[in-house]
């Protein structure tokens, strides 16, 4: 992302114990202007455990990257006790291993 671009993630269901997933909204802001707004899905909060939990709340650096598995996506850096946290497309929480997925809307 541009050094003047920040990603704000608001978790909507408050990381409730026993939740199946964590829903949120992501907003990309550049130079105080909103560039993008989308929904997000993550795994539920399970004490930041590898591959089964969403990441802790915080401020993280995000860089663009590409791979054969996810094409163009973003890598969330410096997550405490975690590595390879990605933001990539997914439709269901079962497609995530601790990563985040942006989307257009929630479907219940």
Cβ–Cβ under 8 Å, residues 50 and 64: no
Q: pLDDT tier at 107 (50, 70, 90 boundaries)?
A: confident
Average pLDDT of the residues in 54-75: 87
Q: Average pLDDT of 72-85?
A: 91
What pLDDT does 27 receive? 86
In a domain, 26, yes or no: yes
Range of the domain at 71: 5-103
Please give the sequence-ordered ranges of beta strands (E in DSSP) within the chain, or none if there are none: 5-11, 22-30, 33-42, 62-67, 71-76, 85-87, 100-103
Q: Is 36 contained in some domain?
A: yes
Residue 35 belongs to a domain: yes
Query: Has residue 90 been placed in a domain?
Result: yes
Structural domain includes residue 21 = yes
108 in a structural domain: no
Does the pTM of the predicted model rise above 0.75? yes
Q: Is 96 a domain residue?
A: yes
**Quick check: is 11 in a domain?**
yes
Q: Which pLDDT band, with edges at 50, 70 and 90, does 29 fall under?
A: confident
Q: In the beta sheet, which residues pair with residue 30?
A: 5, 33
Instruction: Over range 10-27, report the average pLDDT.
Output: 83
Number of structural domains, the chain?
1
């Amino acid at each position: 992302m541009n050094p003047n671009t920040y990603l704000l993630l608001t978790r909507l269901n408050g990381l409730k114990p026993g939740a199946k997933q964590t829903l949120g909204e992501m907003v990309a802001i550049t130079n105080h202007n909103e560039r993008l707004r989308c929904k997000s899905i993550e795994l539920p909060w399970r004490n930041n455990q590898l591959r089964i939990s969403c990441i802790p709340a915080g401020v993280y650096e995000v860089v663009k990257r590409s791979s054969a598995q996810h094409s163009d996506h973003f890598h969330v850096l410096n997550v405490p006790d975690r590595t390879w946290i990605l933001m990539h497309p997914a439709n269901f929480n079962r497609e995530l291993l601790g990563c985040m997925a942006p989307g257009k809307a929630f479907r219940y």
